[in-house]
Structure 1
Amino acid sequence: MDLNEIRHQAIVNVDKTVNELIQKGEQDYNQYDYCLASHNLYTFLPDSTEEKHQHIYRTFLRNKLLSTNNDFYYTFPYWDMMKEIKRERFEHNLPAIFAIYHFCLGFLYAMVLIRENVDFVVVAGFDGDAMEKIKKSYAEQFKMAKEIYPNSTSRMEVVSTMSKTLFVDLMSKVRNGYSILWAVDWAVSYSDSNVTATVNFLNHELLVPKAMAIFSSLLRVPIIPLSAHYNESYVPVCHFVDIIPPVLSMKDKDKITEVMQKLYDILADNVTKHPEQWQGWFFIHRLLKDRGHKATNFPIPQNMAACKYKLSTIAKLFKIEDNWFIMNVRTGALLEMNLEAAQKILHHEADRLSNEEKRLMYKNGMFVE
């Protein structure tokens, strides 16, 4: 069996597991992740269908499982793929901030830098135990990368965005020739205008952290955006986008915002081309400038006793631990339900809900006649 067949078989096996996970999810009515993704898809891609949402969710589960599958990992043509990214193309810009996005395998971008003998610091948005897990995961993958590229001289470290000494640490590393690997689209919600910039993304305004543009300015290093996706053979494709020079003064807020807008324009372009491959559908709502769900004022029938109650296809019931919720994934309206009400809906006995529960369901577009 050649490497392509091994990779294909790994994908087939993972798809079987995905089907089992989805069936289990439907049985347990635990669809929280799917609801978030579906709501964000309706928000940013309003013409998308539920079938498209389900396809994207399946693809997300597939890619997540493949990221831990060694058979899949080891079968890539690491020396031949992503040839566009060669050190000689960016060497005169080093050290730099390599701006990455949540597409493909998380360690893919690091693999490219290791192959090209670049020393780099990974900036991760975690702290505490989560940060320790991230460090351990990167260390294991770095070891694997060194086995694939045994002559690589790359060194790697991992730092937290939440570190109080982040700037000092990064400056020290940059002075020693290290570049920085930093995800643009990691969604941590901020409301302070001093740390955020307003950018347009797929016809919506986002409040995004502008730390990357500021650090580029302070450290006097350019930003090199790397865009990635899987091709038809499920082999990663990673390529350069235009290199962004550092803003001369971090006090120039308009220029800082322009940099962040360029980075999100690149993201929007890749999301438009490969919407099923972006992991951001599960967290992009955190960055919306207007985070409230759309106003809902659906008509309530005059004679509720004469109505037959049917759950709308855009109303999704799910459970988080012991708490039940129902969401209108198109508007984002969310209602908490007690176990008794949830059981009535699960058993298609919505007629037995209280009048107040029925009114709330109608008002939020969760019932259809």
Structure 2
Amino acid sequence: MPSAQHLYKQELARCREHFERVNLRKERGYLMKFTTFSANVENIMPFIPRSSHERLFQELLLQQVFTTFDQQCLTAGDLVKFRGAKEAITKPDGPRIYCTYHLGSYRLLTSVLFRRGVDCVLLVGSNMNRHQGDDMLEHIEALRQKHGLTNVFRIVDTGQASAGLTILRELKAGRSLIVYVDGSPETAPQPGEEDKLLSVRFGQRNVLTRKGVGYLSHTSGVPIVPVVSYRQPDLTNVLHCLDPIRPIRQSDREMYCREAMQQLYDAFWSYLTRYPGQWEGWNYIQSFLEPELPKHAMYGRRPEHPAFNEDRYTLCDLEQAPILFDRRLYQTYEITEDLRDLLLNLNTIDSVEGVVGEEMFEELVEMEILH
């Protein structure tokens, strides 16, 4: 009789087979989603060649299919391999703040903790709560029925005004938190929230991250346990528990928040470099990037042989109109078909300025579209 592991991998093979039948490039919005993904990878991991970006993007889309399947499969959590400080996810002697990331089959941590008898509270944004909250509760209830579990599971919507007090009460009641510290589209920084954010190093850029996790840990005295999920090449899911970050109650709260969040991103970085095609955050990390100071162009400098600046800009031929995408600033410009054709065929034109006029030429140079 086939083992549970064999049957599980058989189902994933079916998922892959179905996925590979789809012509992704014909899917609505594919080109812009891929271009944004590519710009994000390039800004944070410039050592990955652009020629590899589409393969990574399609790997991520397949991983999302696998992750959705895992959420529907009650036995997926039983097949997980554990690495590192495994005792951190057995029933602890007190509450923990489990900090994880949107890497691999990231929802499995919740299933595993609940299955092991941990009283836990999942923190989610309002949009995720609306679209996925019921599915998560159904999954947990099915695990409860199957294994006769009696421990507590709750979802807290972090978009609610009373969320902070609710979370502190849950910690004081001995329940552990599950937090995705790499953010989500709905937790992106908003104007006026500067006091809730801090800047951390992340690859070649700095990102803005919310300091609520550090604040909760420091205020409650509850340690942070980083947990990284990833999928091995043989499709086995792994949960790697890293050493806890323990708060020092008498320490400066702001300093602790800053150091704890930097540790969490540093810990994640070593796994992201190994499994870049498994991180869902590539689809939205641009909303968290700390703006860079503009690089001032040398005004008045006219390129003798103007070329299209492919390092900074990408041409996207959409149905409605051609789009010029700025990979540094994440801005899109609708352009005419004539300008698109000109940019694609610069090497056949004797005088670009003669074709577009002096004013347009200077604008193209100033925006670094031509260099």
For normalisation by structure 2, the TM-score amounts to 0.80
Change (3 A) 1:320 1:95: farther
TM-superposed CA distance for 1:212, in Å, is: 0.3
SS of structure 1 residue aligned to 2:235: coil
Name 2:107's counterpart in structure 1. 107
Inter-partner Cα distance in structure 2 for 1:223 and 1:342: 56
Q: What is the CA–CA distance in structure 1 between the aligned matches of 2:89 and 2:66, rounded to whole Å? A: 30
Tell me the residue number matched to 2:202: 201
Distance 2:98 2:283 in 1: 23
CA deviations 1:180-205 (Å, max 9, x no partner) are 11111005215755322232222433
Residues in 2 aligned to 1:76 and 1:358: alpha-carbon distance in whole angstroms: 62
CA distances 1:201-233 after superposition (whole Å, capped 9, x unpaired): 224333321100001112221111101110011
Mapping for residues 182-261 of structure 1, pairs under 5 Å: 182-187=179-184, 188-189=188-189, 192-249=193-250, 251-261=252-262
Describe the SS at the equivalent of 2:21: helix
Q: Deviations over 1:236-256 (max 9, x none)?
A: 111110111124157532222
* Counterpart residue number, 2:140: 142
Distance of 2:323 and 2:132 partners within structure 1: 31
Q: Aligned partners of 2:173 and 2:230: how far apart in 1?
A: 32
1:358 Cα deviation after fit: 5.5
1:14 and 1:66 in contact (8 A); partners too: no
1:283 equivalent in structure 2: 284
Superposed displacement of residue 172, structure 1: 2.4
Q: Give the distance between the partners of 1:320 and 1:10, measured in 2 at CA.
A: 29
CA separation of 1:69 and 1:295: change in aligned 2, threshold 3 A: farther
In 2, distance between residues paired with 1:247 and 1:285?
Answer: 33
Paired amino acid for 1:69: F
Q: Structure 1 residue 178 and structure 2 residue 179: aligned?
A: no
Q: Secondary structure of the equivalent of 2:273?
A: helix
Which moved further from structure 2: 168-177 or 116-125? 168-177
| Contact 1:229-1:237 within 8 A present in 2 as well | yes
Match of 2:269 in 1: 268
Aligned ranges 1:1-369 → 2 under 5 Å = 2-3=6-7, 4-17=9-22, 20-21=23-24, 23-25=25-27, 31-69=31-69, 74=73, 78-84=77-83, 91-127=91-127, 131-146=129-144, 150-187=147-184, 188-189=188-189, 192-249=193-250, 251-291=252-292, 300-301=302-303, 312=310, 315-318=313-316, 325-329=323-327, 331-332=328-329, 334-338=331-335, 340-341=336-337, 344-345=340-341, 354-355=356-357, 360-361=363-364, 363-366=366-369
Aligned residues: 353
- Report if aligned partners of 1:121, 1:181 keep a CA contact under 8 Å in 2: yes
Counterparts of 2:237 and 2:367 in 1: how far apart (Å)?
42
Contact 2:102 2:182 in 1 (8 A): yes
SS at match of 1:281: helix
Moved more, 314-323 or 60-69: 314-323
CA deviation digits over 1:120-167, x for unaligned, max 9?
Answer: 11111235xx532232232233245446x5233333221122221112
**TM-score, normalised on structure 1?**
0.80
Instruction: Tell me, in whole angstroms, the C-alpha distance in 2 between the residues paired with 1:313 and 1:207.
Output: 25
CA distance in 2, matches of 1:199, 1:42: 18
- Larger mean CA deviation between 5-14 and 86-95 belongs to 86-95
Q: Provide closer, same or farther for how the CA distance between residues 30 and 5 of structure 1 changes in structure 2, counting only shifts above 3 A.
A: closer
Shift in CA distance, 314/176, structure 1 to aligned 2, threshold 3 Å: same
Cα distance change of structure 1 residues 195 and 233 upon mapping to structure 2, 3 Å threshold = same
User: What is the Cα deviation at residue 114 of structure 1?
Assistant: 1.7
Q: Distance in 2 between matches of 1:357 and 1:67?
A: 48
Compared CA separation, residues 294 and 55, structure 1 to 2 (3 A):
farther
Aligned AA (1:166): A
Structure 1's unaligned 5+ residue stretches are none
What is the identity percentage for the equivalent residue pairs of Structure 1 and Structure 2? 18
Superposed CA deviations along residues 84-138 of structure 1, whole A, max 9, x for unmatched, are: 57567654453111101011234211111122111211111235xx532232232
Contact kept in structure 1, 2:90 and 2:116, CA below 8 Å: no
3-state SS, counterpart of residue 113 of structure 1 = helix
**Amino acid across the alignment from 1:268:** W
d(CA) in 2 for partners of 1:264, 1:321: 39
Alignment RMSD, CA only? Answer: 3.6
User: Which runs of 5 or more residues in structure 2 are unaligned?
Assistant: none
Check conservation: 2:100, 2:179, Cα contact below 8 A: yes
Letter in 1 for 2:277: E
- Taking structure 1 as reference, are residues 74 and 91 closer, same or farther at Cα in structure 2, changes over 3 Å only? closer
Q: 1:5 to 1:252 in 2, by over 3 A?
A: closer
Q: Decide which moves more: 340-349 or 29-38.
A: 340-349
The answer to whether the 8 A contact 1:97-1:224 is kept is yes
